[in-house]
Structure 1
């Protein structure tokens, strides 16, 4: 590899314009692919096979109107007073017009919904009064029937007494028959009257049964209405109204254009005196890829480059190559957005990495080349040697990062694997540009790369008769170290180890309470539409209105309308028993009466601990039992969906894959480091240090975003759970970058030890050889990643802070302090490797020492 890179560097230096034109062409091809293939990004995330996903699939089959995405448009009168009739009419008109927008299934008129709820309550009251009146009428009718029956019984008794007298008189049969004939006629009248009374009694009994049945339904309806009393669409003061918008497409398939159309429609139809804002389901779009913060980060990187390289021309090369790499990587990634669903943060991750590693990798090669020029080396040969040595280390370091990022695909989570792949593409492009375009630019610059004073130094070195042994940089050492260089003392090493470990452990303490989730409107930047909508909804309708849950109930087959109503009441009652439930309302029943859906309003917002616990408790509820009209019993199994439930499922899915991912990445990298350093202890020390810095990073991020520390300074005004996929992302990226710095420092230590330096002195020599460039590279990465902290998107902000702090802790605490101290204490044992293992593993010459021996620098 080193020899191949030497040839590539030499070719690029001599044929600079060929290489530059080639990369310009690649940039153009990437741009063309972007123009043709870019189809938009998604602001939603999903983990397949989750509980909420199964509920949504069931809804798609049985209640498709409730399976699509939904969002809320919040209208609020700016002076806080109640909306006027004219303003209400305008809201209704604009809402009605929105029904024709792309992918819109329905738009709910809040005022009509409130009237409907009021009418239902009035109907319940009227029905109660009507049933009471009916019962009173039935009672009066029963009294009348009872009186008529008493009269009939009295007449029957008189008739029977008269018949008995006639029969006792002993009259002849013909005379007796004549006397009894009128009595028989009276008996017939009495029998007819009795039959009529029986019919009236049956009618009255049937009426009472109907009243009882209606009363039971009314009671059930009143019970359901009582559970839903906390649900409103218009605030009690009349100043705020919620317009619910439902879409035909599921949340993950809803195009950004459809959400943008909703925003444009309502904002373009402004209502005097009324402000409009949108929930995150609608307003959360694609974050800005590059902003002021990123420009400041690059500016800081430029200052560091000037300080290290000594000239503006030299400092410009890493930035130019990094920007070219970012352009190619980002556009190439976005070109596939029409083929696969791509989360909005995917290209941003690539930009972050492309900028950071692109500048660093180019710096490593350029720094080596500059040092060689200062020794009087020939320009082309120096470029080739720098590319074969430092460039070889760059390739290896980049491969480590790429492996860590591609390993995200083992998580089984599509959007996370795609993020890792996109990041890996950006890093791969950065590596290729570093070892090809950077040499080309260096070839064009020639000795102008150096400042005037530096050129004078280089010319003096070239003219000197005595040519000292070349100083091998970026991981190698002087063959004759300076006499002033001494190993650190044992006490110094022990104190450094103790302090570094203590600091990292203290920083890691907050990670013990880390909670994962996805941002809600309260986490967005103050003044944004999403934050305004979230705040207004909280104030007017309670926190739970922003975290509505959708609960489904699977009902038995063959239920009639009355049975379904009873089942709904039983389910709503079971849900309402939870102390964290504010209101429950049945919203729909499938045509076959097999699936019922309920809206559940929790006590707090979607990212609160109580809502998290509520979702888990509802999922653990046994099937709800209820009694059918026939007297038989039935059961309804529950399922929970909604944004809060989806967030929990995604977070749990990501949390579950973190240990596996960490094991895969660390395991693979450990094997690679054993080959590079030909040691067992050095990889163990490097890995252990990374784990410490990783949990320190988790702790710092938790303290800022969950606990709210330094929130005012960093723009975190509403602390909440940590971005659910951030821990996994940090593992992949930070481990790769940590091994970069380990490589550039520890290979120098190993080279010194192999060349005969005592183990502890070798640590000092290797550290001095690589500290300048590693320090500069780390500062550049911290600056670039830190620039993303200024983003308005809490997702981008948390990723930027996590990566910046991770590099800061690992580079300056672990690689620059802890690792050298531990290797000093271990001494020669750090380089021990079993003989059997030494024989079977390949010899990886990362720094190109063999190449350096073959290619002596020409002066």
Structure 2
């Protein structure tokens, strides 16, 4: 038989594609499911053990290195230890002259002296300025042997409160204040538990199945079990504020449930397309798993930006949060495939009555919404911008500063003490300035007489105590009481006037060096310092995130658009926070009754968190759009299918995140309350106005320009294939359709991405 008449040879079989790293990890976890889950249980126990053995105490230094207030604090710590420790303020008001009830007051003070950690109690009858002008109120202080309020046991602080309550009888009113008292009265609200319950309800509605809804919750609990314990280890490594635990838990629960929601949704789609469970797990890892990896990395990058702020407490909070996010990412890559291996096809079991049979993938509602937006992109883009602009309007009224006892509810001891002191001694009594002086002549405070005289004649000064020398005679301290409260702009002006003119003029030629310190001055310095560093944070985080998106989506326009929209949505969230802090109708809804300043570090923290979380939803949405763009080359279809395929997921994920963050709004601590309000409102704005309105409208307007990238960049930049690997996650018939749509591209099942 001639060669020409020989029967044709059958085509050589296509090589079996090799999964990527995520696919191989998922496959291993699926096959060794019980071993992987056992290792996670061991990790929870190991983390708890490490925390008990090596965990440190929470601490936070809000002073600014190199500042005038920090220099004053250092001097006081070195030469006046009693002035440097934490204090409890004690206000006593009587119906008649307080001197007539001196014995009762002394009995109260003796009882407080006997409380553990109380090193000394000032005698108001011998200390100048501690008795009000009308003679009916005394204001004195208990000096503690701890410098950090969190080191004062709540039981001991409660004993002080009980003594004050017991002494309030007849015509006598007693109230105590200070951070340790405030912490003792705050209590716990179990925000993490509230967030998990709310998330469970949303997941049940989204999936309609107990099994499917339970997987994200179980993953979040596993991650929380590890990360919450590791926060204690972080505290042993670097200064970490006590609110870091709540922040890390908040982030871990939120992003953990969001990521697993995306994975489980894609797994259900893959099962519905006819795959076996193991194939479905690998396909999920090669598509949604890549999105989770990129999304988690953007959150980590955003939190790393806090390290550039140069604030020790911010580094601790950032590190605790990064640990929580990394643990969640590891759980998503290993524990979730193992759990899916356990449930297999039973992922849709135990359906919830009246929730309907939730269909994986695109739904008619989101298809119709996508087409509506695409038909009138200019109208919807303008509407989105208008909504964000209105929300951002209150931002102009935002006032920076540190909340104090005057901003807490009136039924709390610290608020009652604050009001009594303000009424009897003036508003400035709640924020005295401490002037620490390095004496030019050892043992003599005579050189400070001129300063004392100048201070008493300075506008805005209500009272000045005589200078008191330290035991070694090298340092002296003066207390200056302003006429205005610690949050007033006039007090800030007074501090600057003292530093720039009054103190330098009065001490010229004396050899004395005087620093203006105290809690109020420290707050002013902290606000100024953070405000100067904020542009560096914004530039660093935005720049790195844009670079990551450029690599992931192979598009300059997508990266720039994502950064701009995230900045706009964050500004709108700041506007909501500003409205709440005004203390009007909006503030009363969340328990803020008076106009309250915003600590400058909160917008910094919120920016880092929100930029990362906003990028999560951006990655979820755009990865699906890019998947369709790569498959079809049709931008309109990519926008439509991307929104239709992720609309339900993003809505559910946002609802979960809002619920988790909103659970912190009832917190008695103003800082946690404001963080909860800001993050919850930001996620709601981002997932609705931005992701569901602005992004599809703008991408429809830009058309194919969305996916432009210089050819030289495209060749040189690494490609993580965020859209997935078609040879794994597309059925044969869809690969054929893709090949027909894009005849110039390689779609054969050889391992090359489309």
* TM-score > 0.5 by shorter chain: yes
Question: How far off its partner does 1:259 sit?
Answer: 7.4
On the 8 A contact 1:321/1:362 being kept in 2, the answer is yes
Select which of 575, 586, 590 maps to 1:714: 590
Alignment gaps of 5+ in structure 2:
1-17, 734-754
1:801 paired residue number: 677
Matched residue count: 708
User: How many Å separate the matches in 2 of 1:387 and 1:277?
Assistant: 59
User: How many Å separate the matches in 2 of 1:370 and 1:521?
Assistant: 52
On the 8 A contact 1:74/1:243 being kept in 2, the answer is yes
Task: Please give the secondary structure, in 1, of the residue aligned with 2:719.
Answer: coil
User: How many Å separate the matches in 1 of 2:77 and 2:334?
Assistant: 52
Q: Deviations over 1:192-214 (max 9, x none)?
A: xxxxxxxxxxxxxxxxxxxxxxx
Assess, with a 3 A threshold, how the Cα gap between structure 1 residues 236 and 705 changes in structure 2: closer, same or farther: same
User: How many Å separate the matches in 1 of 2:42 and 2:26?
Assistant: 19
2:661 paired residue number: 785
User: How many Å separate the matches in 1 of 2:461 and 2:519?
Assistant: 16
Task: Please give the secondary structure, in 2, of the residue aligned with 1:605.
Answer: coil
Q: Which moved more, 1:515-524 or 1:703-712?
A: 703-712
Select which of 32, 35, 40 maps to 1:23: 40
On the 8 A contact 2:461/2:483 being kept in 1, the answer is yes
User: How many Å separate the matches in 1 of 2:197 and 2:89?
Assistant: 41
On the 8 A contact 1:98/1:262 being kept in 2, the answer is no
Task: Please give the secondary structure, in 1, of the residue aligned with 2:478.
Answer: strand
User: How many Å separate the matches in 1 of 2:27 and 2:344?
Assistant: 13
Alignment of 1:663 with 2:663, yes or no, is: no
Select which of 501, 525, 529 maps to 1:621: 501
Assess, with a 3 A threshold, how the Cα gap between structure 1 residues 616 and 708 changes in structure 2: closer, same or farther: farther
Assess, with a 3 A threshold, how the Cα gap between structure 1 residues 724 and 498 changes in structure 2: closer, same or farther: same
Question: How far off its partner does 1:735 sit?
Answer: 0.8
Task: Please give the secondary structure, in 1, of the residue aligned with 2:64.
Answer: coil
Q: Deviations over 1:376-431 (max 9, x none)?
A: 43223212322332122112211110121122111111110110110010011111
1:256 paired residue number: 151
On the 8 A contact 1:111/1:234 being kept in 2, the answer is no
Question: How far off its partner does 1:341 sit?
Answer: 3.1
Alignment of 1:407 with 2:305, yes or no, is: yes
User: How many Å separate the matches in 1 of 2:202 and 2:665?
Assistant: 20
2:7 paired residue number: none
Alignment of 1:93 with 2:107, yes or no, is: yes
2:130 paired residue number: 232
2:167 paired residue number: 271
2:601 paired residue number: 725
Q: Deviations over 1:713-753 (max 9, x none)?
A: 11001222112211111111111111111111112222222
Task: Please give the secondary structure, in 1, of the residue aligned with 2:459.
Answer: coil
1:494 paired residue number: 378
Q: Deviations over 1:435-494 (max 9, x none)?
A: 22222222222322214789xxxx9x9xxxxxxxxx9x69xx99xxx9989855777211
Q: Deviations over 1:498-536 (max 9, x none)?
A: 221122223222223422222211223442332232222
Task: Please give the secondary structure, in 1, of the residue aligned with 2:152.
Answer: helix
Select which of 554, 574, 578 maps to 2:458: 578
Question: How far off its partner does 1:828 sit?
Answer: 0.8
1:69 paired residue number: 86
Q: Deviations over 1:755-794 (max 9, x none)?
A: 2242223212211111110111111111110111111110
1:766 paired residue number: 642
Assess, with a 3 A threshold, how the Cα gap between structure 1 residues 390 and 579 changes in structure 2: closer, same or farther: same
Assess, with a 3 A threshold, how the Cα gap between structure 1 residues 101 and 734 changes in structure 2: closer, same or farther: same
Question: How far off its partner does 1:834 sit?
Answer: 0.9
Task: Please give the secondary structure, in 2, of the residue aligned with 1:74.
Answer: strand
2:436 paired residue number: 552
Select which of 400, 403, 417 maps to 1:519: 403
2:550 paired residue number: 674
Select which of 702, 709, 713 maps to 1:826: 702
Assess, with a 3 A threshold, how the Cα gap between structure 1 residues 598 and 501 changes in structure 2: closer, same or farther: same
Alignment of 1:46 with 2:63, yes or no, is: yes
1:107 paired residue number: 121
User: How many Å separate the matches in 1 of 2:102 and 2:90?
Assistant: 14
Assess, with a 3 A threshold, how the Cα gap between structure 1 residues 297 and 64 changes in structure 2: closer, same or farther: closer
Alignment of 1:746 with 2:622, yes or no, is: yes
On the 8 A contact 2:239/2:316 being kept in 1, the answer is no
1:420 paired residue number: 318
Q: Deviations over 1:792-840 (max 9, x none)?
A: 1101001111111111122211122112111111111111111111111
On the 8 A contact 1:43/1:284 being kept in 2, the answer is no
User: How many Å separate the matches in 2 of 1:401 and 1:271?
Assistant: 52
Question: How far off its partner does 1:44 sit?
Answer: 5.7
Select which of 509, 531, 548 maps to 2:393: 509
Counting only pairs closer than 5 Å after superposition, residues 364-379 of structure 1 correspond to structure 2 as: 364-379=262-277
Task: Please give the secondary structure, in 2, of the residue aligned with 1:621.
Answer: helix
On the 8 A contact 2:263/2:289 being kept in 1, the answer is yes
Counting only pairs closer than 5 Å after superposition, residues 629-708 of structure 1 correspond to structure 2 as: 634=510, 637-706=513-582, 708=584
Question: How far off its partner does 1:334 sit?
Answer: 1.4
1:162 paired residue number: none
Counting only pairs closer than 5 Å after superposition, residues 91-490 of structure 1 correspond to structure 2 as: 91-96=105-110, 98-99=112-113, 104-113=118-127, 117=128, 231-233=129-131, 236=134, 238=136, 240-248=137-145, 251-252=147-148, 256-257=151-152, 261-265=156-160, 267=162, 270-271=166-167, 273=169, 276-285=174-183, 291=189, 294-451=192-349, 487=371
Question: How far off its partner does 1:313 sit?
Answer: 2.2
Question: How far off its partner does 1:684 sit?
Answer: 0.8
Q: Deviations over 1:224-273 (max 9, x none)?
A: xxxxxxx33457362x4333122455x45x66136763543563584362
Q: Which moved more, 1:756-765 or 1:274-283?
A: 274-283
On the 8 A contact 1:388/1:851 being kept in 2, the answer is no
Q: Deviations over 1:658-707 (max 9, x none)?
A: 11011111110111101111111111111110111111111211121145
On the 8 A contact 1:62/1:595 being kept in 2, the answer is yes
User: How many Å separate the matches in 2 of 1:453 and 1:97?
Assistant: 62
User: How many Å separate the matches in 1 of 2:185 and 2:294?
Assistant: 32
With structure 1 as the length reference, what TM-score do the two structures score?
0.76
Assess, with a 3 A threshold, how the Cα gap between structure 1 residues 84 and 316 changes in structure 2: closer, same or farther: farther
Q: Which moved more, 1:342-351 or 1:39-48?
A: 39-48
On the 8 A contact 1:397/1:739 being kept in 2, the answer is yes
Alignment gaps of 5+ in structure 1:
118-230, 462-470
Q: Which moved more, 1:632-641 or 1:663-672?
A: 632-641
On the 8 A contact 2:654/2:687 being kept in 1, the answer is yes
User: How many Å separate the matches in 2 of 1:672 and 1:63?
Assistant: 51
Task: Please give the secondary structure, in 2, of the residue aligned with 1:72.
Answer: strand
Question: How far off its partner does 1:547 sit?
Answer: 0.6
Q: Which moved more, 1:333-342 or 1:278-287?
A: 278-287
Task: Please give the secondary structure, in 1, of the residue aligned with 2:465.
Answer: strand
Assess, with a 3 A threshold, how the Cα gap between structure 1 residues 485 and 652 changes in structure 2: closer, same or farther: closer
Assess, with a 3 A threshold, how the Cα gap between structure 1 residues 509 and 272 changes in structure 2: closer, same or farther: closer
Question: How far off its partner does 1:587 sit?
Answer: 3.9
Q: Considering only CA atoms, is the larger Rg found in Structure 1 or Structure 2? A: 1
1:535 paired residue number: 419
On the 8 A contact 1:99/1:107 being kept in 2, the answer is yes
Question: How far off its partner does 1:344 sit?
Answer: 1.0
Assess, with a 3 A threshold, how the Cα gap between structure 1 residues 483 and 647 changes in structure 2: closer, same or farther: closer
On the 8 A contact 1:623/1:635 being kept in 2, the answer is no
Assess, with a 3 A threshold, how the Cα gap between structure 1 residues 26 and 526 changes in structure 2: closer, same or farther: farther
Task: Please give the secondary structure, in 1, of the residue aligned with 2:183.
Answer: coil
User: How many Å separate the matches in 2 of 1:98 and 1:837?
Assistant: 70
